[in-house]
Amino acid sequence: MNCQECHDFIDPYIDNELDIAAAIPFQQHLRDCSLCQQLLESRQALRALLNKLQLRFEVPDSLSRKIQSALPAATASARQRSGGRSVIPWFTIPLALAAALAVVFGLQFLNQRGMFAPSGGNALVEEVISCHVRSLLALHLLDVPSTDQHTVKPWFNGKLRYSPPVQDFTAQGFRLIGGRLDYLNGREVAALVYQRNKHIINLFVAPSESGRTEAVQSFAKDGYNVLHWDRDGFEFWAASDINKEELTAFADLEMKQA
Amino acid sequence: MNDEYTRARFETLMLPLMNDAYNMARWLMKNQEDAEDMVQESYLKAFRFFASFHEGTNCRAWLLQIIRNTCYSPLGARKLRQKEVPIEEEAGQVEDPSPLPPARLAKKATVEAVREAIEALPVEFREAIVLRELEGLSYKEISDVTRVPLGTVMSRLARGRHQLYLILSERKELGHL
């Protein structure tokens, strides 16, 4: 192999795209030719530099939202083109409204009675813990394994009726490792999964019933710690086997970033 | 196939790729505003063409190809306006690549400096480097997205990296590409 041929192989070589038949004479040539060796090293240095720096551009959240809201319009116009018509009879609309109002007032009533309130919510705490434990037992911890909050957040689009806030706290020692859908308190919720050393934290997020901002409340059972808080229209349940201080630090981070 | 099913499938497959789509558009257009417009337009196009998307197709390559096509029409117009000189024929060899001293890249190579250097590359080299180094695509995938043969992908990467190395080792001024 001469130097020109060798040069042509350097890029496929560092990209793992060189087939084995070509790799052997290539490596032989490199051993004997310091010039080609230098060219390879300069390429590897460049590669290392590009890998080291955070060169990617992150999609702005506003764009994600804009595109998602633009899409249903596309679906609606597709429906119009296909000639599909609404088949809901007119008289069902007031009925549906009445039913919706009944549900809303019913929920408010329950809320006042404390059925959703954490103080009366021991059953809910237990459910949060069993969700947490189940996620660790059933090899179903993650539907979307990713340490990138901008991958995890859009993954929930179309799976939930809301877009949960997703943050990464790697710098503070709580690494986002992914998310999944879970079922809590009779509804689908976003479960965000964080890792603290060898420990797993499940953070369940759902729209809050009250809409209030509530400080962190803590519970403990069977060696698990559970924290609950509300902010900006969402309620949060964090469950883990890490100690209460660490879990509180995690909750504080989540609230502070808001 | 009904609308809800199509929509759900589109969301599952395509929305998680928005970061890749935006990154690609941002590097091609070199500014945020144009990149956002291109991504939005591409997603709407992708949704319209989604019927032609078959199970087993590489989602990312499929979407990035749409992004690229969408970006290239305004880029082409921009090029004409600026009377940019087209890059030399692909057949050309890597310009004298041998006399590079090993690893003497600028110590002060910050994110901004490296981004600026990549942006200074001709678009064909730039996209090859972005797809390979930042998106991690294989040569075959890059060839699918950019619709050029594998050999061309290889030579664009080699030439792009060579130029990038020259800029970053401060032996080539940004304005002299």
Catalogue the long-range contacts made by B133-142 (C-beta closer than 8 Å, 24 or more residues apart).
B133/A47, B133/A50, B133/A51, B133/A55, B134/A50, B134/A55, B134/A56, B134/B23, B134/B27, B135/B20, B135/B23, B135/B24, B135/B60, B135/B64, B137/B60, B137/B61, B137/B64, B138/A17, B139/A12, B139/A15, B139/A17, B141/B58, B141/B60, B141/B61
Instruction: Answer whether residue B66 is part of any domain.
Output: yes
The whole-number pLDDT of residue A118 equals: 42
Percent of chain B with pLDDT over 90: 54
Give me chain B's average pLDDT, please. Answer: 83
What digits encode the pLDDT tens for the residues B118-154?
Answer: 999 999 999 999 999 999 999 999 999 999 999 999 9
Query: Which residues from A are below 8 Å from B165, CB to CB?
Result: 42-43, 46
A43, B154: Cβ pair inside 8 Å?
no
Cβ-based contacts of A154 with chain B (< 8 Å): 15-16, 18-19
CA A158 to chain CA centroid, Å, is 14
The whole-angstrom separation of Cα B87 and Cα B64 is: 23
Six-digit token pair at B91?
Answer: 């057949």
Domains, chain A, ranges and CATH? 3-49 (no CATH), 121-257 (3.30.200.100)
Q: Shortest CA distance to A198 belongs to which of A223, A175, A219?
A: A175
Same domain, B68 and B126: no
* Residues B7 and B77 both lie in one domain: yes
Is B26 within 8 Å of chain A by CB? Answer: yes
User: Residue A105: what pLDDT?
Assistant: 61
Query: How large is the ipTM?
Result: 0.84
If one counts the domains in chain B, the total is 2
Q: Is residue B101 part of a domain?
A: no
Nearest CA in chain B to A36: B98
From the list A7, A15, A57, the residue facing B94 with the nearest CB is A7
Same domain, B57 and B128: no
Among chain B residues, CA nearest to A157: B11
Q: pLDDT confidence of A132, banded at 50, 70, 90? A: confident
Q: Is residue B88 part of a domain?
A: no
Nearest to B12 among A51, A57, A158 (CB): A158
**Same domain membership, residue B17 and residue B75:** yes
A15 contacts in chain B (CB < 8 Å): 132, 139, 157
Backbone angles phi, psi at A11, to 5 degrees: -65, -50
Whole domain around residue B19: which residue ranges? Answer: 3-82
Pick the closest to residue B72 from B38, B119, B33, B117 (CA basis): B38
* Domain CATH code at residue B32: 1.10.1740.10
Residue B21 maps to a domain = yes
